[in-house]
Every structure is written in structure tokens, then in C-alpha cells.
Amino acid sequence: MELLDIHTHHLPLHPEQAIFNCTSEMLWRQPFAYCSVGIHPWELTADAIQDKWNWLVLAAADSRVLAIGEAGLDRMIDVPFSLQMDTFERQIEFADAVGKPLVIHCVRAANEIIELKKKFQPHNPWIIHGFRGKKEQALQYVRHGLYLSFGERYQEEALCAAPADRLFLETDESTIDIHLLYQRAATVLSIPLELLTGQLKQNIGNVFLKG
Ligand SMILES: [Zn+2]
């Protein structure tokens, strides 16, 4: 079984197939082979931040952790944007320091993400997860060196515009089989499924399984 799904909130049926997104509320003893750890903007409160941060630093040392995240910025929630920004900037620096890719949650904050990329100039890869934006937005991220991960719903034009070496697929909150997302993406891209799978496995190797 190979790693195909770079971001899921459900415990995978086949543990080696997915990167399970762990949060501080979750029991650590879960049957997953790979995970990401981060502080999601949705779970932020000013008084909980220190506990979450302590957890993150400890959790990130686990050998199953392949990425930091999801972390990011969300303009559609009540959490103060300054608190989101502080916490995200700390995670940007942390992910770079531990040399792991950063999985980003971004809702209506694309310009901020790009400004942060320019400001920090990180050495680790950044991945916009659950990308649903337009083709132009996809291309803007790509120009700034970011990767894009597509879930169950996305704009087909955006998927087609993204370079093959910057692409990932994920199930996120959905219970859909990751293989169906691969099949659908291959159809949208008009390429054989084996070609797409080979390319994405290579991307996963380069970004998540290095070192
Ligand atoms: Zn998610």
C-alpha cells in the first residue's frame, strides 16, 4: 500500500495510504502510519495557545509526522486575525526549523499567504490544501513556489493549469475513496491514471518522504 492521500481528517482504512491530520484534541494512540500536526485557526483561543504550542513541539518529534499543519489563515471565522497571524507565523518558522513541509489552510487570505512566503523565504515546501480557487489563483501560487492539493471539489480549469510536479490529491473531510479522486483527476486532465499516479507518487516522495 502506498501513500496517495496527503490530507485526511478520517483515520485511513489502510494506514500507509494517507497522512492523517492530528490535532491536540486527538488521542495520540491511533492506528495511522503517517500524520501531520499543527494548530488549525479554527481551534485558536488566546488562552489555549500555550498548551497547543507545547503539544505541537512534542508531537512533531514523532517519527510518523510527515508535515506541519494544517495551519493558516481564515477570514470567514470569528477568531481575531492578529491571533491567527501570530500563530501561523510561529508555525511557518517551526516547520522550516524542523525541515518539514507546511500544509496550509487558506480562506480568503491568498495575498497574505504570498506576502508571508516572500517575507520568510522558507526552505521547506508549502502546500495549499483543499484548493478550490480559480485558475489564475492557482497560477499565482505556483509562481511563488507553492504546491496545490485538490480535494473532492475544485475548479477543473485550476487543476489543468497546475504543473504536474506541483500537484497533490486529498480526501480532507470527505469519506470518498482516494482512488476515485485519482480517477476523476486523470479524466479531467485527459491523461492515463497510471501516469497521474506515478507523477503524484513522485511528488509525495519529493515533498513528504524525503529524509
Ligand atoms: Zn483539512
Distance between Cα 10 and ligand 1 center (Å): 10
Distance between Cα 70 and ligand 1 center (Å): 6
CA angle 73, 204, 123 (to 5 degrees): 55
* pLDDT at position 30: 79
**Count of structural domains within the chain:** 1
Distance between Cα 50 and ligand 1 center (Å): 22
| Distance in angstroms (rounded) separating the CA atoms of residues 2 and 23 | 24
Name the least confident of 8-22, 79-93, 118-132, 163-177: 8-22
Distance between Cα 130 and ligand 1 center (Å): 7
pLDDT category at 208 given cuts 50, 70, 90 is very high
* pLDDT at position 211: 64
Distance between Cα 40 and ligand 1 center (Å): 9
Per residue in 69-110, pLDDT tens? 999 999 999 999 999 999 999 999 999 999 999 999 999 999
* pLDDT at position 31: 83
* pLDDT at position 157: 98
* pLDDT at position 27: 67
Per-residue cell: 46: 488566546
- Residue 108's region, left for phi above 0, alpha for psi from -120 to 50, else beta, is left
Collapse the DSSP code of 188 into the 3-class scheme (helix H, G, I; strand E, B; otherwise coil) and give the result: helix
Distance between Cα 7 and ligand 1 center (Å): 7
Distance between Cα 164 and ligand 1 center (Å): 22
- Domain range spanning residue 106? 5-207
Sign of torsion, CA 194 197 203 208?
negative
Q: What is the CATH number of the domain that holds 183?
A: 3.20.20.140
pLDDT category at 13 given cuts 50, 70, 90 is confident
* pLDDT at position 205: 97
Per residue in 25-37, pLDDT tens? 776 777 899 999 9
Q: How many CA atoms lie within 13 A of 71 on its CB side?
A: 27
| Maximum distance among all Cα pairs of the chain, rounded to whole angstroms | 50
Distance between Cα 103 and ligand 1 center (Å): 9
Distance between Cα 8 and ligand 1 center (Å): 6
* pLDDT at position 1: 67
Distance between Cα 94 and ligand 1 center (Å): 19
Q: Average pLDDT of 101-129?
A: 98
Distance between Cα 39 and ligand 1 center (Å): 11
Query: What residues form DSSP beta bridges with 74?
Result: 107
42-to-54, 71, 80, 168 alpha-carbon distances in Å: 18, 9, 11, 23
